[in-house]
Amino acid sequence: MLFHNSEVFTEKAVWPKATFISLELDIKMRISPLLLLLACARVNGYSSGLVTESCDDMTPRHQGSSPSSSPPPFTITIDRYDYSEGDEITVSLRAYSTPFQGFLLQAREVGGSSPVGAFSLFGAENRLLDCGGLSNSSVSHSSGDNKNSVQSKWKTPQSGQLKDIEFSVTFVQNFRDYWVGIKSPVVVYNSSRSPVGSTTRPISTLLPSPPSGPPALSLFSNVPISSVDCGESKVCFSKPNDCDPASSADCYFMSAMTSPADSSVKFEIYGRSTGYISFGFSDDQLMGNDDIYICGMDSNSTIQVQHAYSTGRRAPQILPLGNVSDIKTSFVDGVISCSFVSKNVISTQRSAVGSIYYILFAYGGTNNGALQYHGTSRFASDQKINITRPQVVTAQKPQIMKAHGALMLIAWMTTGSLGMLIARYLKAVTKGRGCLGKDLWFLAHVSLMGLSVAATIIAFILAFSYFKGWRGGAHPVLGVLVMILAFIQPFAALFRCGPQHQWRFVFNWFHVLNAVAIKGLAVAAIFTGLHIMESSQDRWMQKVMAGFVGWEALLFALQDLHMRWKRKDEDGDVSGFVHIEVILLLVFFLGNLTFLVALLVGIGMA
């Protein structure tokens, strides 16, 4: 028998190779459908959220992949920061720049490894799981569809030895990219409070009252913020440039310091304001599609931190605060300051994790907790920055607004002033001299004032094209008034009556008064514009502008005194007085040019 078997074995050993290939294909064809069925069943189990094998460590069973160590583009937020027996807490999961396909959510005691409490569902995109021997103690996805946000409600245990808890979630973006154990802020167990009247933080209102009692929030009479370590261990952005909030109450300041341990970022913000200060991250230097943090006053005059998203020329959308902790706030002598640690991912319209951004800073008032429009109380960084790389960032006005300021300055402090001075005081110089029947003083006056009106129109168009709409504050109001009156002036001159007409004096008075009004409003607009544009702490441009106005007033006064003196001394040497007028005009022009160049350089450096 042994031999026979050996013969059989020997006979099989010499079978043709084609026979083995045929047998191998037959076996594969029989086994492959079974393997495919098992694989499909396993994939379907993951996409349907039946992931009870992950209850303990919350790690997806994705073979060949490991949890991501980069900051997650998702966040977990809660509507309550303390609880007692029987309370309910709404938990929200939200995607920023990219959706997630799956998730696993649990509530655990701080430092614990087992789920506590029970969940109930909001919507069909969730399913309940039994983990740790507790019914409905976890929530998972019900399909593999992309999700931008999901919500669930967690109910605290009715009895037992209750402790502080935190929510933990695993996000699955795809098979290879997932984040395990993302934590919410700690929810403190408060045994002294009944569930009725418990503290909540509503997420649908602007600047709601802060929650009571969570360790993640602490209020101080003063938050120590300074420019120490700027450029060495943290990113700093301020106006005026390089100011120190520790020594100046007029410093607007923001800093960001990244922790190498867990990629969290400590933010600081400081500034004088009647309601709020804020900073944001943007793809450009304009408002819209920006990730914003607000440090502001709520309806109870309490300072708190809010997370928001700007969608353009409207109030920003308040978001759940997200993974933010260690909040410190203060409001002392009109100065607001806040510091906090955030693990939220920065999200703008075109950004991805690790992108670079412009920094925006804005401040304004609040009305019963609602943010008011900041108007021109804003500034932006001169370049995009990466907040993980320490540096000192400077503020810079866009070039189009520098051109706007330069044109208005030239129009109403140089060409306009010269045109007004020539029309009032130098008629005698060119009397009888001219071209095409017009005196030279008149031709010079019309040319200079025409240039002033043209420059004003161009400056107005530049500002309107930049802001793309109306902006609040005194500066745009003054600018619009200057634009309207400057536009009226030449048209009124076209329809004036003749020099000998009985109503000519009406035009003369209107023309003069309108010119004086334009000049006064233009000077005020330039002062407010320089205040917005000024980047130095000593405000030197506004001081130079004050000197500029004083110089013009002095020379106008000298010309006026000379004209009155000439009228009284009718027997004097007329030619001599004419030379004095020309000399005063030349002195006026040289001084005017000096002040103008200084301010234009300042605008270029602003």
What share of the chain has pLDDT > 70, as a percent?
78
54-189 is classed CATH 1.20.1540.10: no
CB 235 within 8 A of CB 324: no
> Residue 94: its pLDDT value, please?
81
- Residue 217's alpha-carbon distances to 210, 344, 495, 551, in angstroms, are 9, 17, 69, 55
Joined together, the tokens standing for residue 453 give 């009106």
What are the b/e assignments for 509-533, b being 16+ CB within 10 Å?
eeeeeebeebbebbbbbbbbbbebb
> Residue 20: its pLDDT value, please?
39
**Is 361's pLDDT higher than 90?**
yes
Domain with CATH 1.20.120 in the chain: 399-605
CB 104 within 8 A of CB 130: no
pLDDT band at 572 (very low <50, low <70, confident <90, very high): very low
pLDDT band at 297 (very low <50, low <70, confident <90, very high): confident
Of the candidates 541, 261, 549, the residue with the CA atom closest to the CA atom of residue 406? 541
Domain with CATH 2.60.40.1210 in the chain: 217-393
> Residue 491: its pLDDT value, please?
83
- Mean of the pLDDT values across residues 74-96? 80
Q: How far apart are CA 396 and CA 277, in angstroms?
A: 19
- Full-model pTM: 0.41
Helix/strand/coil percentages in the chain, nearest 5: 35, 25, 40
Neighbours of 424 (CB within 10 A): 16
CATH architecture, domain 217-393: Sandwich (2.60)
Name residues whose C-beta falls within 8 Å of residue 315's C-beta, 6 or more positions apart in sequence: 206, 370, 371
Q: What is the pLDDT of residues 451-467, one digit of tens each?
A: 999 999 998 888 877 66
Joined together, the tokens standing for residue 379 give 């500034």
Residue 586 phi, psi dihedral angles, 5° rounding: -65, -45
Q: What is the pLDDT of residues 158-186, one digit of tens each?
A: 766 788 888 999 999 888 889 898 888 77
- Mean of the pLDDT values across residues 370-374? 77
**399-605 CATH fold:** Four Helix Bundle (Hemerythrin (Met), subunit A) (1.20.120)
Q: For residue 574, which amino acid is it?
A: V
- Mean of the pLDDT values across residues 6-35? 42
First to last CA, the chain: 104
Q: What is the pLDDT of residues 405-426, one digit of tens each?
A: 899 999 989 998 998 888 888 8
Q: For residue 58, which amino acid is it?
A: M
Domain with CATH 2.60.40.4060 in the chain: 54-189
The burial class, CB within 10 Å (0-12 / 13-18 / 19+), for 49 is buried
Residue 439 phi, psi dihedral angles, 5° rounding: -65, 155
